[in-house]
Amino acid sequence: MIKPHGSDELNPLFVYDPAENEALQKEAETLPSLLVSSATAANAVMLGAGYFNPLTGYMNKADALSVAKDMKTTDGLFWPTPVLNLVEDAGDIKAGDRIALTDPNVEGNPILAVMDVEAVEEFSDDDIETIAQNVYRPSPDEAHPGVDAFKAQGKVLLSGPIQVLNFSYFLTEFPDTFRTAVEIRNEIAERGWNKVVAFQTRNPMHLAHEELCHMAMDRLGCDGLVIHMLLGKLKPGDIPAPVRDAAIRKMVELYFPENSAMVTGYGFDMLYAGPKEAVLHAVFRQNMGATHFIIGRDHAGVGDHYGAFDAQEIFDKEVPEGALEIEIFRADHTAYSKKLNKVVMMCEAPDHEKEDFVLLSGTKVREMLAQGIAPPKEFSRPEVAQILMDYYQSINK
């Protein structure tokens, strides 16, 4: 199986031993506590689950700036985006303290992790702007939800290793879908898959997405597909994870051969960082055991901040050769061809005009679903459309 990023073995930071976990929970109750941001909590979940291998905790100021500018830590580890614990005010917490991090996303703010604080530093306004510009690359004339969320967390940075004690709300709310990188690696091995392609989604999968996965599997000669959906915080208007989950599971149940696809999810808050986040997503997938990863048009983008293929080109222009073992499957926009009566990549149909494809905007699809009108079968499987229609009609009552 493909090696994880940066090490020979996966090193998740979750404390799996029950006795040790319980002892740490009791210790944590006696420690100074810090209520962290949703983004910091999601980072803890990803560290605990092994997706951020080989990191041992939150980055310090020097590493954060080095990663933002050069995609590597000060000791040379390739890493695409800073992994931070930012707060507005650290209070009395200082370097050398051992603290309990508490969860903002679960009622009662339970203890999420124990942290050994190595440094408490502060970003300047210039530092914040350097990270925002290098990681998110926002367009100057349009608000960026990822930048807004980053800047809202504060400028005080706590760095150091952590021990993770639970997986926040992800395990309780998505018990059939949330999986750690460790669990996915184990299941890939159990299924006997050697060549595995991963597909990232934060939306339901329509026919074009489904067929893109089939194309990738066929062209790469893969044994299996891991559909890996984001379960964390999204921007307003995105479809909730339980609805996406139901729609995707129905599609796999009806339209994929047995033992060819896994439906899984991971606990992370979307950054909307386009190309840099695409590289981060590739790191996740290598750590969970995938050998290939599908990158399509405007991967992890938002609005018009990024070019259609920026998230593919970054792997050629900015990711050093050998930095990652996972390979990228580059995909163009896929759509149903009326001429060929099948879904194709639009770049592979040069004799087509725009009107030769079945193309619907996201706004148009949402309007149809809200009115109880199923999109055409060339756009969406009827069983998937029904789940989405039920959701949109429920929120519009």
> Is 279:185 a contact under the CB 8 Å cutoff?
no
Structure tokens at 322: 């050998």
For tokens 């990803």, the residue is 46
Q: Is residue 134 flagged as an active site residue?
A: no
Q: CB neighbours of 271 closer than 8 A, spacing ≥ 6?
A: 81, 135, 136, 146, 277, 280, 300
For tokens 């290793």, the residue is 161
For residue 72, the 8-state DSSP code is B
Q: Is residue 166 flagged as an active site residue?
A: no
| 375 alpha carbon, distance to own chain's centre | 28
Catalytic residue among 98, 137, 191, 202: 202
Return the bridge partners of 121, or none: 157
Residues in the chain: 397
Return the bridge partners of 345, or none: 334
Catalytic residue among 11, 194, 203, 249: 203
For tokens 């030769």, the residue is 356
b/e map of 320-354 (b: 16 or more CB within 10 Å)? eeebbebbbbbbbbbbbbeeeeebbbbeebeebee
Q: Which residues are catalytic?
A: 202-203
